[in-house]
Amino acid sequence: MRTVSVFDTTLRDGEQTPGVAFPLNYKIQIAKQLDKLGVDVIEAGFPAASKGEFEAVKTIANLGLSSKICALARIVKYDIDAALDSEADMVHIFISTSKIQIEHTIQKSREEIVRLAVDAVEYIKDHGRICMFSAMDATRTEIDYLKQIYKAVEDAGVDIINVPDTVGVATPFKFYDLIKELREHLNVPIDVHCHNDFGLAVANTYAAVLAGADEVQVTVNGIGERAGNAALEEVVMTLHGLEGIKTNIKTEYLVETSKLIERFSGIKVPPNKPIVGANAFSHESGIHAHGVLKDARTFEPGVITPEMVGHKRRIVIGKHAGRHQIKKILEDAGYQVDEERLTKIMEKVKELGDKGKKVTDLDLFAIAEVVLGELKKEEKAILVDEVTVLTGNRITPTAVINAEVEGKKKVTSAIGVGPVDAALNAVKELAGESMRIKLTEFRMDAITGGSDALAEVYVTVEDDEGNSFTARGAGADIVMASIEAVIHAVNYLMLMKKKKKHD
CATH superfamily of 380-502: Alpha-isopropylmalate synthase LeuA, regulatory domain (3.30.160.270)
Residue 312: predicted pLDDT: 77
Q: What percent of the chain has pLDDT over 90?
A: 56
Residues 7 and 40: beta-carbon distance below 8 Å: yes
Residues 122 and 155: beta-carbon distance below 8 Å: no
Q: Mind listing the pLDDT tens digit for each residue in 400-423? A: 999 888 888 999 999 988 888 888
**Chain centre to alpha carbon of residue 288:** 25
Least confident of 52-66, 77-91, 353-367, 428-442: 353-367
pLDDT of 207 strictly over 80: yes
Q: Mind listing the pLDDT tens digit for each residue in 61-77? A: 999 999 999 999 999 99
Kindly report the average pLDDT of the chain as a whole number. Answer: 87
Residues 226 and 195: beta-carbon distance below 8 Å: yes
Least confident of 9-13, 109-113, 115-119, 300-304: 300-304
* Structure-model confidence comparison of residues 417 and 11, the more confident one: 11
Q: Mind listing the pLDDT tens digit for each residue in 425-452? A: 888 888 876 677 888 888 887 655 566 5
Contacts of 396 by beta carbon, 8 Å cutoff, 6+ apart: 415
CATH 3.20.20.70 placement within the chain: 5-265
DSSP string, 416-480: -SSHHHHHHHHHHHHH-GGG-EEEEEEEEEESS-STT--EEEEEEEEETTS-EEEEEEEES-HHH
Q: Mind listing the pLDDT tens digit for each residue in 86-141? A: 999 999 999 999 999 999 888 899 999 999 999 999 999 999 999 999 999 999 99
Residue range 5-265, CATH number:
3.20.20.70
Q: Mind listing the pLDDT tens digit for each residue in 317-343? A: 666 676 777 887 787 776 777 888 888
Model confidence band, residue 81 (pLDDT cutoffs 50, 70, 90)? very high
CATH 3.30.160.270 placement within the chain: 380-502
Residue 240: predicted pLDDT: 95
- For the entire predicted model, the pTM comes to 0.75
Residue 471 CB coordination number (10 Å):
25
pLDDT of 287 strictly over 50: no
